Amino acid sequence: MKKRQSFSLWVVVLVAAAALASPALATEGGGGAYPNGAEGFMAGALPPPGTYFINYLTYYTASKFKDNNGNDAPGDFKLKVAADVLRFVHVTNYKVLGANWAVHAFIPIAYQDVSVPGRDDDRFGLGDIIIDPIILGWHSRNVHVTVGLDIYIPTGSYNKDRLANIGRNYWTFEPVLGVTFLSDGGFEVSAKFMYDINTENDDTKYRSGQEFHVDYTVGYHIGKEWAVGLNGYYYQQVTEDEKNGNDVGNKGRVFAIGPAAQFNYKNMSFTAKWQPEFEARNKPEGNKFWLNFVYAF
């Protein structure tokens, strides 16, 4: 399936700040609501009217936690996160401002295993459900644009005394802009721009800073079946975290780039991606893998 909608999904990369012998983390626990790199080919192209099922299988592993200077934090650190996300998208026949109107929702199931000096914890369960009731997509011959507002609902299990948590215990509101350029010859450049606005965690009185991040793809379509290219992300925390209304310091950052390939067959699409991270600050630095499946009803 060639045209695919810009989206967001949830996987947590969460580490307890008190368990690390490092400076303050970026965002509460060192992670964000959105798993960077989820978007890929045709990120800005809303599919034609209809109903779609998307399954995202992702695995993230890291054995390094970088401090504010990019150095490894002292002590052994290991993080493994696996998630399977069921997403449902419906693109209506209605037009709003000349754009197709769509809605989506998805349900993530995640497993997390965290190990830091003196502590080890793992957790499995339902994550934070995400919805977006108003997604708009515009199309021209070579350029496609999608906008939306993804809402992360704190439905996942959370306990402030645990090292591993599947839920984040706060709401996130994420404006999204997806843009795709696809030439007549098959050359593609796509990007999905996001800006996260987080509410306060009532259990810890901690409010994670605002975050800017972008998923990108540069690729080439070989006929109607295959697409190959480079895929990755850039993440930068924009504002500082707050604890009881006071700024607490360090901001997170990370880059990633790696190969991506997609195979389209009839009403289905299969995508594989590898995204090694580098230049992390106040965050884990590791490798992320994706196997995504799309089915058009």
Give a yes or no: residue 264 inside a domain.
yes
Strands of the chain, DSSP E:
50-66, 78-96, 99-116, 119-126, 130-139, 143-152, 172-182, 187-198, 206-207, 211-222, 226-237, 242-243, 246-247, 253-265, 268-281, 283-296
Instruction: Identify the segments of the chain with pLDDT beneath 50.
Output: 1-24
- Confidence (pLDDT) at 118: 86
Give a yes or no: residue 51 inside a domain.
yes
- Confidence (pLDDT) at 30: 65
Residue 231: give the domain boundaries.
17-296
Question: Based on the structure, what is the number of domains in the chain?
Answer: 1
Spatial distance between the Cα atoms of 200 and 207, rounded to a whole number of angstroms: 4
**CATH (domain of 198):** 2.40.160.40
pTM above 0.85, yes or no: yes
Q: What is the torsional sign of CA 12, 149, 275, 241?
A: negative
Q: Per the structure block, which two tokens stand in for 48?
A: 């034609």
Give a yes or no: residue 12 inside a domain.
no
Spatial distance between the Cα atoms of 47 and 38, rounded to a whole number of angstroms: 17
- Confidence (pLDDT) at 25: 56
- Listing DSSP states for 198-218 in one string gives E--BTTTTEEPPPEEEEEEEE
Could you report the per-residue pLDDT of 83-116, keeping only the tens digit for each?
Answer: 999 999 999 999 999 999 999 998 999 999 999 8
Q: Please give the helix or strand (H or E) that residue 127 lies within, else none.
A: none
Give a yes or no: residue 11 inside a domain.
no
Give a yes or no: residue 240 inside a domain.
yes
- Confidence (pLDDT) at 26: 63
Give a yes or no: residue 285 inside a domain.
yes
Give a yes or no: residue 67 inside a domain.
yes
Question: Hey, what amino acid is at 138?
Answer: W
Give a yes or no: residue 153 inside a domain.
yes
Q: Are 30 and 13 in contact (CB under 8 A)?
A: yes
Using DSSP, state whether 26 is helix, strand or coil: coil
- Confidence (pLDDT) at 246: 86
